[in-house]
């Protein structure tokens, strides 16, 4: 089951009314309907960013462009829209970094409720990662509003 976080938990961090800047922006943009065309644009933009990241790995100075957490989120976003599951291993591969570094990012994001761990319904020995509702919606708005 995907985590459903309330408005006071934006990106997994409990926020007060005073420092709720991201929450305020998120609530303002929530009036903007997330429709199928916005989701399509968001998935297309996520794919473009992943293609660029993949091509950068061929450069001799590729380690200068490391952003493992963002790459994991983008890959998971695309995978979810394709109906594919994301395991820890596939998240590590998408991060373009060492497995132990990617593992720390996954733990960080699950601790803060950006990602949710779910037991696979077919094979209980497999743990799948899923984007939280807030993160999925934020990614749709961020990626779907840009061209």
pLDDT score, position 106: 96
User: Is pLDDT at 12 greater than 50 in this prediction?
Assistant: no
pLDDT score, position 146: 60
Instruction: Give every strand in the sheet of 86-87, ordered side by side.
Output: 86-87, 127-131, 115-119
| Own/partner pairs, 75-84, CB within 8 angstroms, 24+ separation | 75/50, 76/115, 76/129, 76/130, 76/131, 77/42, 77/43, 77/46, 77/131, 77/136, 77/139, 77/143, 78/43, 78/46, 78/47, 78/50, 80/130, 80/131, 80/136, 81/39, 81/43
Beta carbons of 71 and 101 less than 8 angstroms apart = no
- Distance between CA 89 and CA 35 in Å, rounded? 31
User: Is pLDDT at 122 greater than 90 in this prediction?
Assistant: yes
Q: What is the pLDDT of residues 19-72, one digit of tens each?
A: 333 343 444 444 456 788 999 999 999 999 999 988 888 888 877 877 899 999
User: Is pLDDT at 144 greater than 70 in this prediction?
Assistant: yes
User: Is pLDDT at 17 greater than 70 in this prediction?
Assistant: no
Beta carbons of 56 and 65 less than 8 angstroms apart = yes
* Of 103, 140, 111, residue with least CA distance to 94: 103
User: Which domains occur in the chain, in start order?
Assistant: 19-144 (1.10.10.10)
Q: What is the mean pLDDT of the chain?
A: 80
């Amino acid at each position: 089951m995907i985590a459903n976080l309330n408005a006071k938990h934006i990106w997994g961090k409990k926020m007060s009314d005073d420092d709720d800047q991201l929450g305020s922006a998120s609530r303002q943009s929530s009036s903007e309907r997330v429709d199928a065309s916005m989701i399509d644009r968001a998935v297309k933009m996520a794919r473009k960013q992943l293609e660029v990241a993949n091509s950068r790995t061929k450069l001799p100075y590729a380690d200068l462009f490391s952003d493992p957490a963002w790459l994991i989120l983008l890959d998971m976003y695309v995978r979810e829209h394709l109906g594919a599951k994301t395991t820890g291993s596939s998240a590590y591969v998408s991060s373009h970094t060492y497995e132990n570094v990617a593992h720390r990012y996954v733990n960080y994001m699950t601790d803060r409720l950006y990602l949710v761990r779910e037991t696979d319904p077919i094979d209980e020995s497999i743990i799948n990662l899923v984007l939280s509702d807030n993160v999925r919606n934020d990614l749709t708005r961020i990626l779907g509003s840009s061209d």
